[in-house]
Structure 1
Amino acid sequence: MPPPQARLPWELEEEILTRLPPKVLVRFRTVCKQWNSLFNDRSFIYNHLSLPRPQFILLTKYTIYSIDITDPTMKLLERHTSRLGLCLHNANITTCDEFLFFNYPRPWEKKTSLWNPWLRQVKWINLVVDKHFDVFGLGYDNSRPEKVYKMLGYMRCPSKVQTINSYLQRVSMEVVDNVYKMLEYFRSPPEDQINVYPDRVVIYECAFQTLRFIDTPDEDMPMSETAKSSHVSLNGNLYWIACNRQTREYFIQSFDFSSEIFKPVCLLPFQESPSCDEHVLAVFKGDRFSLLMQCYLTRKIEIWVTKRKIDDTEEVVWMKLMTLTATNLPKLFNKLYGVSYFIYDKTLVMCCGDDESGKPCIYIVKGDTCNKIHIGADLNSLASRITWFSHCAYVPNWTSVPLEF
């Protein structure tokens, strides 16, 4: 009779599993119930999220790619998108904690979805609304033990007045038991129109199909397209860079989905920056902010990070992480398809369009050196066929997309 197999101590077993890549852990879910429960444990997820190297997700018109960067090489992998079944042109992609959030702003088809490309899981949120509706971002109520997802969006109203009840008949979402809320805006038509709504914020609770208006100063509303494409999600809330119209101070604005209010978080660490300088906000190490600032004239890049994790109890303190002065840095201001980036091993990794061709490129910047890699240059001339793209930085994980919101 063979001797019983010795098992490692559970603490060591957990430590080993923490260091494995997500695609391996997905296969290990069926090994035993203890491992499967561990992979769903919130503390294990956050411990694992602090270890993997972020990647980029790149959308082209019909295909989605993940881009894994190991300086000086790049691995481009096509993701299975048959379940999406859509032309992705003009789709907007952002993140909401563990998931990718897609918004398809088509006048004839309003769809959003949560997606985990590594698990090939998609959850559709169908919005039956007219062409004037647009989604800003996704978040959830972090004051509750379960995640209650909500949307922040806005509506460009038609010129004729509609009652709230008639509007509600035209707005719906696929929800089953849980309570979801959608935040929308009603934008006024031209002044020469009559019987119109003023600009107002509302909360839409999908489970109850109710609208509640929120009185909000106009300057709090995230109406700019720049904020729409460059906001970040952290702990269920949305954050973006804003500018005070009176003082011209740059600060981080947020929308708290639990209290359902807009509120300023902190000033940026520099205020002398002119409007043509580029500022890009990102999540750093899962619970903090990083901020990229590029001088328009010199192209010098500064990376700032918050000293402590972001919450409502502590004052935000910034510290400069690095200054990058490579002579061949791209000009980031006013990039047609935006800039996404992450910091890993004291290296800045960016995705944006080439200064001359506009085609997507990866820039790996460390100290005074900058290495540029053209995406798809060696993949059957993929680069020459990309006429539109959207992108974001994303940390691979194995968290299952909820079947019910």
Structure 2
Amino acid sequence: MAHLKNLPWELIEEILSRVPPKALVRFRAVSKQWNALFEDKRFMNNHKKTFRFIIATKRKIYSVSIDPVVVVRELPLGTPGLRSYPLKFQSFVDCNDLLLCRKERGVVVWNPWLGQSIWIQPRVIDSLMVFNGIVCNNKKYKMVVFSYRDTNEIWTTYDFSLDKWVEYKSRISSSVNLVSVETAVSLNGTLYWVYFSNKTDPLGYHISKFDFSRKIMYYFCNLPCGRNHDADALVLRVFRGDWFSLLKQCIVTKKIDIWVTKDKINSEDGSNVGWMNYMSFSSPKLPDLVETVRFSQPSYFIEGKRLAVCSCDNNGQAWIYLLEDDKLISKTCLDDVVSRWPLHCTFVPSLVQVPAARGRLSLSLFFWKYCT
């Protein structure tokens, strides 16, 4: 450690950017400065093994990095739950630091950067189960599940530290309808969704949040825009850790707008949330970000004034689009590597370890060992 003190900090950062992610977890205890570095998104973005998109087909999972060029790598499935039968994933939910991967039976909580995962089987079988996300308060993790049972709406939370499911009938404070589970985002211990109060009115779209203490879904704030058509792209994301961003593409004009909130999100009060147009793309030959076969929404992230998007075309081929300065600067078809109609989502690499559910971790290891 004495020799390290003599090295320039920039050189230490460069060395650590080449260290495998699993080792970085152990290095948190070296010093406060090192620990702060590993919390820095800039460091994560510059790490040599970072990636931005996760793509899953029926039998394989890939990571996609885009700097300096688009590179697709197959990820190993040798972690609990990922190789378990049945393999097919139903949906991905990016929870900022972790991924929720819904399967035909149960769900996998996964950090693909660290190669950690745990398989969790739901307590009950419902007609429709939507694994909305994971929230963390005071280092305690909870998973939120929405389902239908006998025409009743049920909210269920799973507490990792207690290995306990708690369910209750849904209460919604006003007459609203869920647009898409793909719009659910996790921010600072709270889950948010895009809702609409009037589908025929583009201005009738807003954000609702789930209050764990009151056990109710209620209005949080307005969106700066809505959908004019079912094939319009409308995707809510977390921006720079504490803000919201919203991607909107009109299926008719092909124009793409990116909106971001003016201030950090205060989960207690959405009355002062304001939006500004962060970037727009209206040049000719912009791609359709929502295909008209399955109407799946795109995945995207923002880096400076550059927009990176992953979406499928009407043939099911996956594409990576990079846009900057009102232009489409590159497009890459992944058809040579990735089979058609894959699932996809963004993922910002993190050193957050998958929470070990008491009594569930051993079950996952047993399932992985004997059922693969």
Q: How does 1:356-371 map to 2 (within 5 A)?
A: 357-370=315-328, 371=330
State the Cα distance separating 1:61 from its structure 2 match. Answer: 0.8
Structure with higher Rg: it is 1
State the Cα distance separating 1:29 from its structure 2 match. Answer: 4.7
Aligned to 1:236: 189
Can you list the C-alpha shifts for 1:101-127, whole angstroms capped at 9, x where unaligned? 1111x2xxx211211112111112112
Of 297, 301, 312, the match for 1:342: 301
State the Cα distance separating 1:30 from its structure 2 match. Answer: 4.9
Can you list the C-alpha shifts for 1:78-121, whole angstroms capped at 9, x where unaligned? 111133114543421111231111111x2xxx211211112111
CA distance change for structure 1 residues 32 and 263 in 2, over 3 Å: closer, same or farther?
closer
Of 42, 50, 70, the match for 2:67: 70
Q: Is the 8 A contact 1:23 1:398 kept in 2?
A: no
Q: Is the 8 A contact 1:139 1:151 kept in 2?
A: yes
Of 142, 145, 148, the match for 1:152: 145
1:342 aligned partner, one-letter code: F
SS in 2 for 1:148: strand
Give distance in 1, aligned partners of 2:197 and 2:355: 38
Aligned to 1:34: 30
Q: How many residues are paired up?
A: 340
SS in 2 for 1:91: strand
Unaligned runs of 5+ in 1: 158-187, 189-198
1:394 corresponds to 2:347: yes
State the Cα distance separating 1:333 from its structure 2 match. Answer: 3.8
Give distance in 2, aligned partners of 1:330 and 1:233: 28
CA distance change for structure 1 residues 244 and 9 in 2, over 3 Å: closer, same or farther?
farther
Aligned to 2:262: 307
Q: Is the 8 A contact 2:233 2:248 kept in 1?
A: yes
Can you list the C-alpha shifts for 1:101-154, whole angstroms capped at 9, x where unaligned? 1111x2xxx211211112111112112433524123123363xx2223132211
Give distance in 2, aligned partners of 1:103 and 1:17: 36
Give distance in 2, aligned partners of 1:232 and 1:79: 24
CA distance change for structure 1 residues 330 and 76 in 2, over 3 Å: closer, same or farther?
same
Q: Is the 8 A contact 2:129 2:145 kept in 1?
A: no
1:147 aligned partner, one-letter code: K
CA distance change for structure 1 residues 297 and 18 in 2, over 3 Å: closer, same or farther?
same
Q: How does 1:284-323 map to 2 (within 5 A)?
A: 284-311=239-266, 312-313=268-269, 315-323=272-280
Aligned to 1:94: 93
Q: Is the 8 A contact 2:173 2:219 kept in 1?
A: no
Give distance in 2, aligned partners of 1:44 and 1:20: 10
Give distance in 1, aligned partners of 2:2 and 2:194: 56
SS in 2 for 1:27: helix
2:102 aligned partner, one-letter code: N
SS in 2 for 1:8: helix
Give distance in 2, aligned partners of 1:19 and 1:393: 26
CA distance change for structure 1 residues 121 and 253 in 2, over 3 Å: closer, same or farther?
same
CA distance change for structure 1 residues 30 and 270 in 2, over 3 Å: closer, same or farther?
closer
Aligned to 1:253: 208
Can you list the C-alpha shifts for 1:244-279, whole angstroms capped at 9, x where unaligned? 1388311112223354321222111136x5234321
Of 219, 242, 253, the match for 2:175: 219
| Structure 1 length-normalised TM | 0.73
CA distance change for structure 1 residues 339 and 23 in 2, over 3 Å: closer, same or farther?
farther
Can you list the C-alpha shifts for 1:287-326, whole angstroms capped at 9, x where unaligned? 1111111122210111111111111246211111111123
Q: Is the 8 A contact 1:325 1:367 kept in 2?
A: no
1:151 aligned partner, one-letter code: V
1:68 aligned partner, one-letter code: S
